[in-house]
Amino acid sequence: MSKTIGFIGCGNMGSAMVGGMIKSGNIDKKNIFIFDHSSKKSSYLKEIYGINIVKSNKEIASECEIIILSVKPNIYKEVIEEIRDIVDEKKIVVTIAAGQTIADVEKMFNKPVRIIRTMPNTPALVGEGMSALCKNELATKEDLEDIKVLFESFGEAEIIKEDLIDAFIAVSGSSPAYVFMFIEALADGAVLEGMPRDKAYKMACQAVLGSAKMVMESGEHPGKLKDNVCSPGGTTIEAVAELESKGFKSAVISAMRKCAHKSRYMK
């Protein structure tokens, strides 16, 4: 992609996206601009990736064709008020904030603006992100496809209806945290059984990675793949029974409901 891309804010998610874009080799670092209030963060990203650092949000809005609002939801209004007069219908505004709907952002701009609402996740940093995208009426199908290609530079991306964004956040946007907790728990269990910590993490990570790949590539239902591992009277079914007795699946589903609810009402 040859368009200029500007990040307003570059925290954990923004940094992961920048890193993923650069590592993909599909985005030229000279086309990426960032502004973050933390000069330490900006300097670090420039040193690592060789991207452009600018001095203000207004400069991002002025210089870039695609403007990614990578700031916390509660300061969207403040940032948009700052750049509103600079952003015109030629630019594409990309949002990544939970709780800030397309209608919310349109109201903040108070004028016609091409908006693509997205939700990526932090595995973008290693080229394995999962992102969801939807657009407002002014943005074209071509705009949406362009941003989809951009987000696919650091993983997979799907176009969905906006009313599914909160479900997406629960199942993918926030879920790396749940998976990291699961990996940590697997490793802790192995350490409890005498496994050295470094080997425990490697084994746990590979088990999760391989299992996910099996689901993706085999096309089999996860339940069937689980059944295939559970020999009658064996070790695996013993562990599965214990997880079920502790409410493993219901706890995950309950956590996702909480996550989606928080996303729905976060401002």
DSSP letter assigned to residue 169: I
Distance CA 101, CA 104 (A): 5
pLDDT of residue 265: 83
pLDDT of residue 10: 87
Q: Which class is 175-265 in CATH? A: mainly alpha
Name which of 86, 62, 255, 90 is nearest 170 in CA terms.
255
Domain boundaries, the chain: 5-161, 175-265
CA 179 to centroid of chain Cα atoms? 14
* Average pLDDT by stretches of 10, the chain with 267 residues: 90 87 88 90 89 94 96 93 95 93 96 96 90 97 95 95 95 96 98 98 98 97 97 97 97 96 83
Kindly give the pairing relationship between strand 114-119 and strand 129-135: antiparallel
CA 103 to centroid of chain Cα atoms? 21
On whether the pTM is more than 0.85, the answer is yes
The tokens describing 173, both together, are: 């946007």
Just give the CATH number of 5-161: 3.40.50.720
Q: Please, are residues 69 and 96 in contact by the beta-carbon 8 Å criterion?
A: yes
pLDDT of residue 267: 62
pLDDT of residue 142: 95
DSSP letter assigned to residue 171: I
